[in-house]
Amino acid sequence: MFIVGLRKLFKLKCAGEMFSITSSYHLDAVSAYEWLVCHLLHESGNKLREELSSGKDNFTARNDSQVYYCRTLSIAFIEVKIRYFLFINSQIRK
């Protein structure tokens, strides 16, 4: 899964390394969403650590980090899965 390669994915730049001119639109969109999911996962972890270090209890810290970051993360993750599913189905039908 793409999350395993999180550090490698963060090192990629949009200008030519992540996308190629010949790649399909669906793969470009999936790659962009994969990067977004990894970024949001990283930021969600940072937000949780920040909340915990500010002295909040575990429940409140998790609740506050979910409100600000994890909701967006979950939506982006589902969008990656949907786009990948649509890409696979479009390839099967060819």
Residues of the domain holding 29: 23-92
When divided into structural domains, the chain yields a total of 1
What does the block give as tokens for 70?
């994890």
The residue behind tokens 């990894």 is 38
| pLDDT one-digit tens code per residue, 53-94 | 999 999 999 998 887 778 888 999 998 888 888 777 777 766
How many Cβ atoms are within 10 Å of 37's Cβ, its own excluded? 24
Specify if 1 maps to a domain. no
Specify if 3 maps to a domain. no
Specify if 15 maps to a domain. no
Sequence-ordered alpha helix ranges (H) in 1-94 = 6-11, 25-53, 58-65, 71-92
Specify if 28 maps to a domain. yes
Taking the whole predicted model, whether its pTM rises above 0.85 is answered as no
| pLDDT one-digit tens code per residue, 16-57 | 444 444 446 666 777 788 888 888 888 889 999 999 999 999
| Alpha-carbon gap, residue 37 to 31, rounded angstroms | 10
Specify if 12 maps to a domain. no
